[in-house]
A and B are shown apart, each in its own frame.
Chain A
Amino acid sequence: EDQVTQSPEALRLQEGESSSLNCSYTVSGLRGLFWYRQDPGKGPEFLFTLYSAGEEKEKERLKATLTKKESFLHITAPKPEDSATYLCAVHGGTDKLIFGTGTRLQVFP
């Protein structure tokens, strides 16, 4: 059964304190791994899609990487506006995305 596990559940950082979020997955035939940002009461906002091990993508202070078993979302020098829940999802052989429970990030000034 396809599964996504994210850690930690919650992360508190000081502004400027870099860190990484983890997404471990098991899927029969990965066709894509997605990272989304979700603000309270809002829909998931697309950040990245990664397709194969070794692939990396960057956007501002965020960088996503992918191995055969996990993905990391690295946050460099975060700012308070980066505070949100970060969701990881995988696409296997069907139409659907399988989501993890997310990491709730709080960045304090």
Chain B
Amino acid sequence: EPEVTQTPSHQVTQMGQEVILRCVPISNHLYFYWYRQILGQKVEFLVSFYNNEISEKSEIFDDQFSVERPDGSNFTLKIRSTKLEDSAMYFCASSVWLAGVGELFFGEGSRLTVL
């Protein structure tokens, strides 16, 4: 069964360092998302991406965050200068249609620990 894959599964970094989280969405999907989940809290929307541009972003997704689809398969989330409060599980997701019209599939997540 096709799945969303994410790397790394766990990354530890020092505050102020840049981090890139990588995702390979399901191959025929057109919409891509990043969500995050701070330990013990809700899953929160960060950004959606369609047709090589951001279609929506949340208040969390400030200038420190960026997304890119550098080739036909990868989808990346970059955090330019990490803060302690960026420590969370980051989930990539993809769907054939815009979320809500069909199924949204999540990857296993990348755990980011900022020290």
Give the residue of A43, A96, A100 whose beta carbon is less than 8 angstroms from that of B56.
A96
Determine whether A97 belongs to the interface, using a CB cutoff of 8 Å to chain B.
Answer: yes
A-B contact pairs, 10 of them (CB 8 A): A41-B109, A43-B4, A43-B106, A46-B103, A89-B43, A95-B99, A96-B33, A96-B99, A99-B42, A101-B42
B55 within 8 A of A: yes
Check if B100 sits within 8 Å of A32, measured CB to CB: yes
Residues on B close to A: CB < 8 A? 4, 31, 33, 35, 41-45, 48, 55-56, 58, 89, 91, 98-109, 111
> Is A12 on the interface with B (CB-CB < 8 A)?
no
- Residue ID in chain B nearest A31 by CB atoms: B100
- Chain A: number of interface residues, binned into ranges: 20 to 34
Q: If the complex has contacts A44-B43, A44-B91, are A96 and B101 also in contact, measured as CB distance less than 8 A?
A: no
Which residues on B sit within 8 Å (CB–CB) of A89? 43
Quick check: A43 and B100 within 8 Å, CB to CB? no
Contacts of A67-109 to chain B: CB distance below 8 A: 87, 89, 91-92, 94-102
Are A42 and B43 CB-contacts (below 8 A) given A95-B56, A95-B98? no
Give the chain A neighbours of B106 by CB distance below 8 A: 36, 43-46
